[in-house]
Amino acid sequence: MKKMLVIDYEKCTGCRLCEMVCSVKHEGVVNPARSRITINKWETKGIMVPMVCSQCEEAPCLAVCPTNARIRDEETGRVIVNYDRCIGCKTCVVACPFGAVSFDPVANRIISCDLCDGDPQCSRFCETGAIRYVDASDANKMRQREAAEKLYESMQKMDMASIS
Amino acid sequence: MALNKKIAYINLTDGTVETKPIPIEMRKKFLGGRGLDAYLLYNNIEAGVDPLGPDNALLVSAGILVGTLASASARTHIAAKSPLTGYLGSTNMGGFFAPELRFAGFDHLVIKGKAEKPSYLWIHNGNIEIRDASKIWGKGVRDTQEIIREELGDRNIKAVTIGLAGENLVRYANVMTEIKNSGGRTGMGAIFGSKNLKAIAVRGTMDIKIEHPVEALEYDKKIISQITAAKVSQEQGRLGTLFIWGATNSQGLVRTRNFQLNQLENSDDIEPEAFEDSAFGMTGCFGCQVHCRAKYIIPDGDYKGVYDEGPEYTSLGAFASLPGCTDLTTVLVGNYLVNDYGMDTLEIGSMISWAMELYEKGILTDKDTDGLDLSFGNEKAVIEMVHRIAHRKGLGDILAEGPLRAAKKIGKDSIKYQVHVKGMSNLQSDERPTPALALGIATASRGSDHLRSRPAIDLYHLPEPVLRQIYSQPVAYDGPLTSNYIDYEGKSWQVFWQEQCYMAVDSLGICKYHTIFLGPNFPNFEEWSKLLYYNTGLELSPLDIWNIAESANNMERLFNLREGLTRKDDWLVDRYFDEPTKLGIPLIRNRTIDRDKLTKMIDEFYEFHGWDENGIPRPETLKRLGIDKEPSHLL
């Protein structure tokens, strides 16, 4: 069963705890520049959007890698780096349509989300539910239910309007 | 190692910058943030300097746990001699600036001199540059930050900045970051303005090493769960600090119409829940899961469609209860204006409502107000006065001077209606029914203030055993403790304990909402000892942290005494003793503070500190704390 990180940007408060715990988990330091997840923020509009690797099925980063260093972990479905093969050419950084592959400025190497080997710290620490780690085939369920609720409410309003 | 961030001495007059490491001994004595700033202030300012002159030192710092896995460790501290009070200037703010300052390699900045022309500092991965600020001088708080990001080509830059109020030397101008994070109280924004310093921009990609990462992660998780499980955090995460206004106004603990009433009646339109309609979610500071700031769009009027954050308890007080208004949009617009001008919402609310009372009494007339009708409840006049104060126009120029200078200029018996301590306005709470809270504002080191020693949980009437559990560690206390908030007994110890607690969090860089402020079951000395060890490797016991807080509190006291503070400054205005409360629940009606009992509380409070009856630290107290040879110039 494949699991994935589902982002609901409307629930994100922009606190960046996900960036902190990600860099501590992977590097033993707090440093957002070394985090695999990044919150993009439009401060004057109050918009915050976390961005992280989607572990694409047809992954561009994997396709463009000249040394086959981007590899798929068949067991979990995630895309990881084989650092023995990686030459640091950063082609994958450019190729990713989400900007979710980055270059660690301290260790000078490619980094992207590895789902913390099955226990992603970002979702574990996110109390608002903006980042959830769920079964890929269930990923749409919460959004679907919220949409259904809105639909139901608007139908109720229509009914009320027709009664009055 | 974890504690490798530096201190920088920046002289704006000659453009020199000197950086130094911070010795571990100084960390063990004062931690960082407000604690180390208290030491640096005493050591870098000569007695009697002009607060707005080049010899005043401006300190900007991060707490020692900022940017680590200590929940809500996002606090920036800013200090100088205050242009408002002439005593300690000190402000502590959230946001994202302090962590970024640490990512850029620094913990403390000591800024002296005055730049020849408007300037800003650009601090980036260990480098400090003084840059021309002509493009941003005259701009509002949010535009300034956006223009800096554009000019330097980096969206991730964080900055502290002043708005027009700081440039115009309004004596209670704020230092601001992002949309609404405010370094308010004591006029630190005017210090920036006086030094021709518009902003400090920071950006860095340097590590904050976590000494024991696995333990730090798990311990952070535990503390976050402890905090977010509390009902008080959940309310705050839904309504922000407005919920405090709602809870206290319903009892009759909100200063209204300057100081004439203690409850705003007919408040349905501006109860905390009413603000939810304009809000679209919450936001928070670096690493914090409480998220106490609402994101809102102004729904109507001249500023329709403008985005802002908050408003907080203080803005609801400033633009509703104090001036006797009940219009939601006025609160939202007032909040937006003070944020963008960079002004202390608490101080401005108090100054405007004071002027309104003077207008009501005939001390100020239409001639003084240039025809503006300053009657209580006139919302348009309140907003107009915010503009006039920021631009120092007409009466605004006088009110921009703060309580004591303004009262001197207006003359007659205007001072009689002022509500201040040490020349700084009181919060929008009414402390006449609550002796513990009254003692707190009377003795707070930066003038009347609720964030220095207020035992806010006293309002919960907690059972005595619970109080004893909280207030008898990490040092033993077996004196009296009383549950009822109208009592005097035992409250001086609670205020003393909270003063220690708040100094500790301000030095660690943790938000007060994550300690014993609004919730009785929140982390304190015991937990901080562990957080320090897991995150930085520093081994300090709860008692060590208590002693550090005591040293830093004494350094602030020494600073104030050197500037001429005496026991009579630790006191309230006569209205607290002579005008009983009129409204509220029966327990709260007809209350005043008793002069003799307050005197006794202050005696006890001094005694707990090891101060003499004049509030001066005894030589043996300073010796015990190892600060008997100050200034020692060790850093």
State the Cα–Cα distance between residues B179 and A123, nearest whole angstrom: 27
A34 in contact with chain B, both atoms CB, cutoff 8 A = yes
Average pLDDT over every residue of B373-389 = 98
State the Cα–Cα distance between residues B482 and B464, nearest whole angstrom: 6
Look at residue A52 in the predicted model and tell me its pLDDT.
Answer: 97
Cβ separation of B69 and A20 shorter than 8 Å?
yes
Quote the minimal CA–CA distance from B309 to chain A in Å: 8
In this predicted structure, the answer to whether residue A164 has a pLDDT above a threshold of 70 is no
Report residue A91's pLDDT band, with 50, 70 and 90 as the boundaries.
very high
Report residue B1's pLDDT band, with 50, 70 and 90 as the boundaries.
low
Convert the pLDDT of each residue in B89-134 to its tens digit.
999 999 999 999 999 999 999 999 999 999 999 999 999 999 999 9
Look at residue A155 in the predicted model and tell me its pLDDT.
Answer: 87
In chain A, beta strands by DSSP E: 3-7, 29-30, 38-42, 47-51, 70-72, 79-81, 102-104, 109-111, 131-135
State the Cα–Cα distance between residues B617 and B610, nearest whole angstrom: 6
Chain B CB contacts of A14 under 8 Å are 283-284
Q: Are strands B197-203 and B119-124 parallel, antiparallel or unpaired?
A: parallel
Look at residue B561 in the predicted model and tell me its pLDDT.
Answer: 98
Report residue A142's pLDDT band, with 50, 70 and 90 as the boundaries.
confident
Q: Are strands A70-72 and A79-81 parallel, antiparallel or unpaired?
A: antiparallel
Q: How many contacts (CB atoms, under 8 Å) link A and B?
A: 94
Residues 89-148 of A with CB under 8 A from B: 105-106, 121, 124-125, 127-128
Residue found under tokens 């679907």:
A144
B97 in contact with chain A, both atoms CB, cutoff 8 A = no
Q: For B279, which residue in chain A has the nearest alpha carbon?
A: A46
Q: Which of A25, A30, A39, A108 to mutate to test the interface with B (most CBs of B within 10 A)?
A: A30
Look at residue B604 in the predicted model and tell me its pLDDT.
Answer: 98
Cβ separation of B103 and A31 shorter than 8 Å?
yes
Angle, alpha carbons B373-B377-B382 (nearest 5°): 60
Chain B CB contacts of A46 under 8 Å are 179, 280-281, 283, 295, 307, 309
| pLDDT, averaged across chain B | 97
Angle, alpha carbons B363-B369-B374 (nearest 5°): 75
In this predicted structure, the answer to whether residue A141 has a pLDDT above a threshold of 90 is no
A63 in contact with chain B, both atoms CB, cutoff 8 A = no
Look at residue B253 in the predicted model and tell me its pLDDT.
Answer: 97
B282 in contact with chain A, both atoms CB, cutoff 8 A = yes
ipTM of this complex > 0.85?
yes
Residue found under tokens 């985005």:
B307
Report residue A156's pLDDT band, with 50, 70 and 90 as the boundaries.
confident
Convert the pLDDT of each residue in B544-599 to its tens digit.
999 999 999 999 999 999 999 999 999 999 999 999 999 999 999 999 999 999 99
Convert the pLDDT of each residue in B47-96 to its tens digit.
999 999 999 999 999 999 999 999 999 999 999 999 999 999 999 999 99
Of A15, A24, A45, the CB nearest to B288: A15
Cβ separation of B284 and A13 shorter than 8 Å?
yes
Report residue A9's pLDDT band, with 50, 70 and 90 as the boundaries.
very high
State the Cα–Cα distance between residues B274 and B327, nearest whole angstrom: 11
In this predicted structure, the answer to whether residue A157 has a pLDDT above a threshold of 90 is no
